[in-house]
Amino acid sequence: MAEALDSIICSICLYLLKDPVTIPCGHSYCMSCIKACLDQEDIKGIYSCPQCRQTFIPRPVLNRNTILAELVENLKKTRLQASPPDHYYAGPGDVECDSCTGRKRKAVKSCLVCLASYCETHLEPHYESPSFKKHKLVQASKQLQEKICSHHDKLLEVYCRTDQQCICYQCTMEEHKGHNTVTASLERTEKQKQYREKCLKSLRKIQEREKKIQELRQAMDSLKHSAQAAVEDSERIFTELICYIEKRRSELKELIRAQEKAEVSRAEGLLEQLKQEVSELRMRDVVLKQLSQTEDHIHFLQSFQSLCVSSGSEVLPSITVNPHMFFENVKKLVSELTDQLQDLCKKEMDKISGKEIKIHQTR
């Protein structure tokens, strides 16, 4: 029996369905409960089921469920609602019924005329008695006094555009007399239009910014790819430059070694020639000393004449071996080349670093 009772309980007010209606997804609610929920979603223009969250566009038509209505009436007759489940009663944070005695039930509606909140049972007179037909019912609220004029204890139903505040009808004849006033519902309609315009404007801004985000991400990806390509190209170019310099270095080394070999070979030839002449001069010197000691005058004169003939070259060969002349010049030229390369690299790097990559921001 408890399961049968739960099947005809409104999931919004948690009471037996009152004037049950069914929405397209198949869930059923009290007419007043679901209508209030849908009214709140008029701002968005997208409606949803409080249980399954299925959305509907446009606002769904509320069709009365006669089978559930009959079932609810039959259960009322058997007085099954006399002992409601615990979740019918008010707990922390719930609005209590002002008419319940003892343990209070949850209020489902608040009356702005009575300034009281009622559970499903105590709300029935507002639906059934003609004297309550003009009473205004809203979702159960603890802040009823906020909807009442603090000066006249009357319902706030008028909006003063001059002072931009909600007032009662009596206020329009006293302190707000002559002000630009409209009904709260009319002002709500106007504000609703402004709200929709703001929503559309906000939506356009969101779309524009999302587009900018996409463009910025694409620009960042392009920048990363370009940077990677530039790194790879510069690595290749510098590698080729290093190889070229290494080749020139090797050629210069070979040139220096060849020059060294040629100069050493020439110097060695001169060295052998000088050593030969020194050897011959020493031998001649020995013969002259021996001849000077002979007592045979004829032999001395005959031999002296032949020994006086010049032996070897009278002019010493040029033996200027100056390593500084060639090699110092090479070092100077290499040093100048290094300075030129460094200056050139610095100038070009300054040009490259001066061309900063920027993502321009446009408005």
Inter-CA distances, 242 with 230, 237, 247, 310, Å: 18, 9, 9, 61
| Confidence (pLDDT) at 161 | 92
Q: Which two tokens stand for residue 43?
A: 């701002």
- Decide: 126 and 135 in contact? Cβ < 8 Å: yes
Nearest-angstrom CA–CA distance, 55 and 103: 38
| Confidence (pLDDT) at 316 | 59
pLDDT one-digit tens code per residue, 44-78: 778 888 888 888 888 888 888 888 888 877 776 66
- Decide: 192 and 43 in contact? Cβ < 8 Å: yes
Give the amino acid at 292: S
pLDDT one-digit tens code per residue, 149-195: 888 888 888 999 999 999 988 999 989 989 999 998 899 888 888 88
| Confidence (pLDDT) at 2 | 45
CA atoms within 13 A of residue 2's CA, in its CB half-sphere: 5
Q: Which two tokens stand for residue 70?
A: 């009959």
Please classify residue 140 by burial: count the beta carbons closer than 10 Å to its beta carbon, then call 0-12 exposed, 13-18 middle and 19+ buried: buried
| Confidence (pLDDT) at 78 | 62
Nearest-angstrom CA–CA distance, 156 and 153: 9
- Decide: 87 and 47 in contact? Cβ < 8 Å: no
Give the amino acid at 85: P
Structural domains present in the chain: 1-88 (3.30.40.10)
Radius of gyration of the chain (CA): 58
Q: Which two tokens stand for residue 97?
A: 């019924």
- Pairing of β 116-118 and β 165-167: unpaired
Residue stretches of the chain with pLDDT short of 50? 1-2, 80-81
Output the pTM of the full model. Answer: 0.42
- Decide: 258 and 251 in contact? Cβ < 8 Å: no
- Decide: 87 and 14 in contact? Cβ < 8 Å: yes
Please classify residue 22 by burial: count the beta carbons closer than 10 Å to its beta carbon, then call 0-12 exposed, 13-18 middle and 19+ buried: middle
Nearest to 153 by CA among 144, 140, 161, 165: 144
| Confidence (pLDDT) at 87 | 61
